[in-house]
Amino acid sequence: MSQGTISLTWLGHATFALRSVAGKRLIIDPWVMGNPACPQELKQVEGVDILLCTHGHFDHIGDAVEIARRHKPKVVGIFELCHWMGRKGVENTFAMNKGGTVEIDGISVTMVHADHSCGILEDDGSIVYGGEGVGYVVRFENGFKLYHAGDTALFGDMKLIGELYRPDIALLPIGDLYTMSPREAAYALRLLGVKRVIPMHFGTFPALTGTPEALREAASDIEGLEVIALRPGQTINLP
């Protein structure tokens, strides 16, 4: 299908660092310093070309402003979240909305629906409107497509995401409480039609009870499904 290699490192929770076929460095939902799942030696993010934010909850943008100020990546997020980050000193924002696609450095990023809230907690304890939670379909230089669902409940239009974008791999939350549990994530896999999934957003806190084993069990009817259960800090090469 596709030539070249993409490397993907799970930094724990919903945070992923990727290196594209052409060597572009991406980070999705950067939360490292306060992330109890992120290995100590990976908390210092070295360099970033493209930074994607699915929504404004602290466990997704906890280090976004700091990393963006330091490394000056291109920052993608929904309009209101980009506006908020801009006021915090973040440059080079690509403010967009669901259904849109941007091309950045040869990589295409499509913002898709997620079913989740998006209030931003300010330092003074107030919550400001941050738009809505979203997911992304990232298409790399070689045509490989990765779907990061963000935080989300199950929704029927995952079927459309599957049909329209045909992701090669899905990163799905399974922790329960704030997102899908393994039961809903298994249903999501049927809608998406993907055969490879990396579970995320589980185990970070005791309340996030979903496990990859439970996902395997719930999705055992899906022929050829590969549940890739990473350890935080682990790197794999794709495809």
Per CB under 5 A, contacts with Mn ion among 101-140 are none
The residue range among 51-59, 80-88, 124-132, 169-177 that interacts with Ni ion, by the rule CB under 5 A, is 51-59
In whole angstroms, give the CA distance from residue 101 to residue 105: 13
Q: Please, which residue, 33 or 164, has the CB nearer to Mn ion?
A: 33
Q: Which does 29 bind (CB under 5 to 8 A by kind): Ni ion, Mn ion, none?
A: none
The residue range among 20-28, 54-62, 164-172, 188-196 that interacts with Ni ion, by the rule CB under 5 A, is 54-62
Q: Please, which residue, 6 or 230, has the CB nearer to Mn ion?
A: 230
User: Which of 151, 168, 176, 184: binder of Mn ion (CB under 5 A)?
Assistant: 151
Q: Please, which residue, 140 or 155, has the CB nearer to Mn ion?
A: 155
In whole angstroms, give the CA distance from residue 44 to residue 148: 22
* 3-state percent breakdown (helix, strand, coil) of the chain, nearest 5: 20, 30, 50
Per CB under 5 A, contacts with Ni ion among 144-173 are 151
Told to check if 59 binds Mn ion by CB under 5 A, we report yes
In whole angstroms, give the CA distance from residue 167 to residue 87: 34
Half-sphere exposure of 201 (CA within 13 A, CB side): 28
User: Which of 24, 57, 113, 216: binder of Ni ion (CB under 5 A)?
Assistant: 57
Q: How many residues bind Ni ion (CB under 5 A)?
A: 2
Selection from 85, 50, 48 nearest residue 70 by Cα? 48
Told to check if 168 binds Mn ion by CB under 5 A, we report no
The two three-digit tokens of residue 198, written as one number: 């990396």
In whole angstroms, the minimum distance from the beta carbon of 105 to Mn ion comes to 27
The residues, ordered by sequence, that sit 6+ positions from 209 with a Cβ below 8 Å of its Cβ are 175, 176, 177, 181, 202
The residues, ordered by sequence, that sit 6+ positions from 100 with a Cβ below 8 Å of its Cβ are 110, 111
Q: Please, which residue, 57 or 145, has the CB nearer to Ni ion?
A: 57
Q: Which residues bind Ni ion (CB under 5 A)?
A: 57, 151
